[in-house]
Structure 1
Amino acid sequence: MTNGPAGSAAGPRLPLPRRVLVTGADGKIGRAVVDALSDLGVRTTALSTAWTSPSRADRIVTGDATAEDDVADALAGADAVVHLAAIPHRDLGRPYEVYRTNTGATFNVLAQAATAGHVRRAVIASSINAFGVPMNHHAVATAYYPIDEDVPAEIDDWYSLSKYSDELTARMVASHWGLPVIALRYPHVDTWRQLRAHAERVGRAPGTPQLVREGWSYLDLRDAVDVALAALTAPVSGALVVGVSARDTLVDADSGELLDTYAPGVPRRRAITGRTSLIDTTRARTALGFTARYSIHVAADDPDPAPTTAGVTP
C-alpha cells in the first residue's frame, strides 16, 4: 500500500492555531507539546484519562479519547488537534484492547474534529511500527534502506496494525470531510539522557532484529515536539504520512558498516555514508520544513549545528 492520496504542500506557513486540543496530554510527548504551545502563547485543552501532575494547559478535560461525549467536550473552541492518546506498545495490553483503544480513539477524535466545523488541522502520532516489520516475529527484513513512508508493510502484531489502521483513518477523514491530517511516524522518543542510556543498551546488542529493522532510529523529545508544531503550521492539504528521526542512529558507528554487518542482503536506495540516519526524512523536510536538531552523540544542551527549519514563531 502507498500512502495516497498524498497530501500536498504549497504556499506560506499557516498561522499558529488559537486553541489546540492535545489528547494523551499526560504522556511524555503530550506534556511536552502542551508546554511548548503554552510557551508560544497558544491556548491548549488537555485531554487525558488521568493526571500524574498538574498540566500547564488552560483547560483540562479528564476523559477518554474513545468516548464520544468526552471528545466532543474537549473539542470545544479548538481549531487544531494533536492526537497522541494511545496504548503505546504491543505488550501494554491484551491484543483486542490495544487495537480497539488505539483505532477507536483515532477514529473518534478525527471524525469529530472533521465534523465540528471549526477544526482546520489535525496531527496524529503514528509509529515507525506502522509498516509492521520491526515487531514481526518471523524472520523478515526491511525491504530497503533508508526506510521511507512507502516501505512495504508486513503486519504481524496488533499494535503495528493499529497504527497502520490509524493512517488509513487519516486518509478517509481527509478524503470524506476535507480535514488535513498529518500522521507522524515517530521512532523511539525520549529525553536526551534516557536516550543515551538506551543507546548504551543497544550498543551491547546492536544486532537485535527489531533494532535492525527500524534502522536503529530514535528522536529526541525536543525534536518530537518541534515536528508536531511544524505539522500544525505546514501548508499541507489532504492526508500525509511523515517519517521522522534524528539525523544519526543510536549506534556510534558508520551506518553503512552497520548494514554490511546486520542487513547485508537488503537493498540500499542511495549511498549511505557516515553515521547518517537510516530513515528517509525527505518528506519531513520538504512538506513540513522540519529537520531534527538533537543528537545523543552531541552534548545534552547543544543541538546538532544545523538550525531548525520548523518556522514556528510566537
Structure 2
Amino acid sequence: MAEVPRRVLVTGAAGRLGRATLGLLASMGVAATALDQRDPGGISGADRIVVGSAGDPETVRAALADVDAVAHLAAIPAPTLDTPEAVYCGNTRATFVVLEEAGRAGVTRAVVASSLSVLGLPWAARRLHPAYVPVDEALPLQIEDPYGLSKQADEATAAMMARRHGMTVVALRFPLLGGPGDKFADTAARYAVSPESGARELWTYLDSRDAALAGWQALTRPITGYHAIFVTAPTTLAPQPTEELLGRYHPGVERRSPLPGRTAPVDLAVAADLLGFAARHLYTP
C-alpha cells in the first residue's frame, strides 16, 4: 500500500458520496476537511468544515491547509439540474481549481468523481449504443450533453494535472449510486416492469459505501500517474438476464466476452488490478 494520508480534503462533502467518504475516513482514523457550498448540518466524520465553492481558488486554498490527499466529489450531477452553461462550466471549473490548488500546495494524491455518463449514453437525446460490451476504459465516447462533456473535460484535466504537478490522480467512473434507504429496490422494480428505462445506464449501480472504498483505494494503492477507471457492482439491478437485455435494447453490439446471468456489462479488470477493488454491498432482488 502507498502511504496512508494524514488528512483528506473531501469536496461535495454534504452529498451522498461525500458523506459515505467521510464515514469511511473516520473509520480509518484519518482526519478530514469537508468542503461544500453550504453546511446543511449533520456532516459527521470531519473535524474541519469549510463552506464555499470548490470553484473558488481562495476557498479551496484555505480548505487545503494540512491536507495531503484530495477526494474531489463536488459537481452538479445531471444536465437537468441547471442550465447547460452552469453544468459544464461549474463542474469543469471546480475540477480545475481543486486540482491546480492541490498541486500547488504539494498534494500528491487525488481522486475525482467521474461517471459512466462520460460514455454519452445516459443523457443523449437519442438512444445510443456502445461500440462493444462489456464496456471498458478504451471504449469510444459519444457525448451529446453538457454533463457528460464536463466529465470528459474533468478526466482530461486530471490527466494534465498529473503531468503538470507530478501527482497521482484517479478518475472513477461511477454508475448510479445509492445505499441503505436509497431505493435500489424501487429502481430494480422499475427495470422489472420497464427494462428499457435502464438501457442507457446499462442497468448498473454501486452502493455509496463501495464507491467510498474505491476512492480510498485510489488514494492509497501503490500506483502513479493518471488513470480513469470504471467501478460498478458486478451485477445489474435488472432481474432479467443481461444477454437478453442487450439483445433487446442494444442489438447488434459486439460481445467481447460472455455475460452470464445478471452480470454487469462493464469490464472491471482495471478496477481489480490497479485498485484491488471489488464491490461488497450487492443488491439482491
Common fold: TM-score over 0.5: yes
| Segment drifting more, 213-222 vs 58-67 | 213-222
Which residue matches 1:260? 247
**Out of 43, 64, 80, which is 1:75 matched to?**
64
Does structure 1 retain, via aligned residues, the 8 Å contact 2:75–2:90?
yes
**Out of 248, 263, 274, which is 1:287 matched to?**
274
Mapped pair 1:214 → 2:189 = no
What is the CA-CA distance between 1:15 and the residue it aligns to? 2.7
Q: Secondary structure at the match of 2:134?
A: coil
Mapped partners of 2:249, 2:83: distance in 1: 32
Letter in 1 for 2:272: R
| TM-score normalised by L of structure 1 | 0.88
Mapped pair 1:172 → 2:153 = no
Mapped pair 1:144 → 2:129 = no
Moved over 4 A (4+): none
Letter in 2 for 1:21: L
What is the CA-CA distance between 1:192 and the residue it aligns to? 4.0
Which residue matches 1:116? 105
Q: Secondary structure at the match of 2:23?
A: helix
What is the CA-CA distance between 1:202 and the residue it aligns to? 2.2
Mapped pair 1:92 → 2:81 = yes
Letter in 1 for 2:168: P
Letter in 1 for 2:9: L
What is the CA-CA distance between 1:218 and the residue it aligns to? 0.4
Letter in 2 for 1:112: E
Q: RMSD of the alignment, in Å? A: 1.2
Mapped pair 1:297 → 2:284 = yes
Letter in 2 for 1:47: L
Letter in 2 for 1:220: D
Q: Secondary structure at the match of 2:125?
A: coil
What is the CA-CA distance between 1:162 and the residue it aligns to? 0.2
Does structure 1 retain, via aligned residues, the 8 Å contact 2:7–2:30?
yes
Alignment length (residue pairs): 283
Q: What's the CA shift string for 1:27-75, capped at 9, x where partnerless?
A: 0110110111011110000001112222220011111100010000000
Which residue matches 1:248? 235
Which residue matches 2:30? 42
Does structure 2 retain, via aligned residues, the 8 Å contact 1:44–1:58?
yes
Which residue matches 1:8? none
Does structure 1 retain, via aligned residues, the 8 Å contact 2:191–2:239?
no
Q: Secondary structure at the match of 2:8?
A: strand
Does structure 2 retain, via aligned residues, the 8 Å contact 1:133–1:155?
yes
Does structure 2 retain, via aligned residues, the 8 Å contact 1:195–1:220?
no
Q: Secondary structure at the match of 1:90?
A: coil
What is the CA-CA distance between 1:293 and the residue it aligns to? 1.6
What is the CA-CA distance between 1:133 and the residue it aligns to? 2.3
Mapped partners of 1:238, 1:127: distance in 2: 20
| TM-score normalised by L of structure 2 | 0.96
Q: Percent identity?
A: 45
**Out of 253, 259, 270, which is 1:272 matched to?**
259
Q: Secondary structure at the match of 1:22?
A: strand
Which residue matches 1:65? 54
Does structure 2 retain, via aligned residues, the 8 Å contact 1:252–1:297?
no
Mapped pair 1:25 → 2:23 = no
Mapped partners of 1:192, 1:37: distance in 2: 19
